[in-house]
Amino acid sequence: MTTIDVIEARDTDLAEWDRYATSHQRSTVYHLSPWARIFGDALGYRSWLLIAKTGAGGTCGILPLYLVRGLAGRRLVAVPFRDRGGPIFDSPAALTALLRYAGELARREQAGMLLKSLDPLPQDAVTLDLARRDHWIHSRMPITDLTRDALWERIGNKNRNMVRQAQKSGLIAVCATSAPGAAERWHSLHVQTQRRLGVPPFPLRFFTLMLDALAPSGSIELVEIRNREVPCAATVLFFHRDTCIYGYSASSAAGQRLRANDLMLFEAIALAADRKLACFDFGSDSPSQKSLLFFKSKWGAEQNVIPVYASQDVGVTDSSDVKYALARMVFRAMPPAVLSWLGSRVVKRFG
């Protein structure tokens, strides 16, 4: 039997980490090592990047873990705020080794455990008394060999009319990833959107670091929808292997009235198709977010429930749950400047 050891990655191991994370079939953009700096510097999360090694020294699995000091206790999460980023591995034995090490780390840190995955993990390899919970609904759209013209035909009359309304209003799409002030313009829209939803926004530094760390590898694009040169909607797209992820989106109230979100989604899918990718990933949502799920399904998204794996002391945090109704009312009532200041200090508790 092959011996598998687990180590905590050091700076000198990050190149090998990213090589594995880039080449593995089940990897995602959230497995890339720059997220440790993004989460650490922007939200204060301590991280452990666990690498499973064979006896010959080859990498056979990785697991990124982030310590979140939540409102109801401490938890190790892979990865915070996202629907994926858990262990990737070459064999069940590598997964077992990673989870055993993670369990020792959790006991040492007096923390629970929460692992995210788009696909079920091998049942016989899951240890630590992790319970599988099926809650989030994942939306994805195959786009292999899709052209912009074919996409226009695929989306149907209603969606085409919405996009035309935006275009007739003079709205245009611009890739603004490297444009001066792009992060600041995005964050302004982000705060407006989070206020409407009644949830705390991320700090500006979270997105500034994201753009700085991921843009050099082509893993991120910031697309703005502009009305007379002023952004009224924007989206953060992530690119990894054959997939484009609709990572974050935001819009002003005026942008919503002008159907900016419809134009933005069309341009995002078209951009992914132009890059010859195989999948446009809309991300995952709570089952209670019926209007959002319908919006995604009408664009052609296929939807499936995905698993998370959590220890008994860790629950699924769903901001759309009725128990957070009062908190959402309070956040909606805050002036944007106050919400931005408070949100940057509170949001890290919900990862």
Residue 69, helix vs strand vs coil: strand
pLDDT single digits (tens) 42-80: 999 999 999 999 988 899 999 999 999 988 899 999 999
pLDDT single digits (tens) 293-315: 999 999 999 999 999 999 988 87
- Give yes or no: residues 273 and 176 share one domain: yes
- Give yes or no: residues 129 and 34 share one domain: yes
- Give yes or no: residues 159 and 131 share one domain: no
Asked whether residue 315 is domain-assigned, the answer is no
Q: What is the pTM of this model?
A: 0.95
CATH number at residue 329: 3.40.630.30
Cα separation, 11 vs 35, whole angstroms? 13
Instruction: Please identify, among 136, 169, 189, the residue that sits at the C-terminal boundary of a domain.
Output: 136
Q: Helix-strand-coil percent breakdown of the chain, rounded to 5?
A: 45, 30, 30
Beta bridge partners of residue 8, listed in sequence order: 50
- Give yes or no: residues 72 and 190 share one domain: no
Region for 324 from its dihedrals, namely left if φ exceeds 0, alpha if ψ lies in -120 to 50, beta otherwise: alpha
- Give yes or no: residues 126 and 254 share one domain: no
- Give yes or no: residues 206 and 251 share one domain: yes
Asked whether residue 229 is domain-assigned, the answer is yes
The residue count for the chain: 351
pLDDT value of residue 312? 82
| pLDDT of 322 over the 80 cut | no
Q: What is the mean pLDDT of residues 156-164?
A: 96
Asked whether residue 285 is domain-assigned, the answer is no
- Give yes or no: residues 217 and 264 share one domain: yes
With CA atoms as reference, report the closest residue to 136 among 318, 302, 348, 349.
Answer: 318
Token pair 């500006």: residue: 204
- Give yes or no: residues 38 and 155 share one domain: no
Instruction: Please identify, among 72, 105, 136, the residue that sits at the C-terminal boundary of a domain.
Output: 136
Instruction: Please identify, among 79, 104, 136, the residue that sits at the C-terminal boundary of a domain.
Output: 136
- Give yes or no: residues 162 and 189 share one domain: yes
- Give yes or no: residues 92 and 202 share one domain: no
| pLDDT of 292 over the 80 cut | yes
pLDDT value of residue 1? 58
Domain span at residue 254? 144-277+323-350
Number of domains in the chain: 2
- Give yes or no: residues 196 and 335 share one domain: yes
Asked whether residue 292 is domain-assigned, the answer is no
- Give yes or no: residues 164 and 117 share one domain: no
Question: What average pLDDT does the structure give for the chain?
Answer: 94
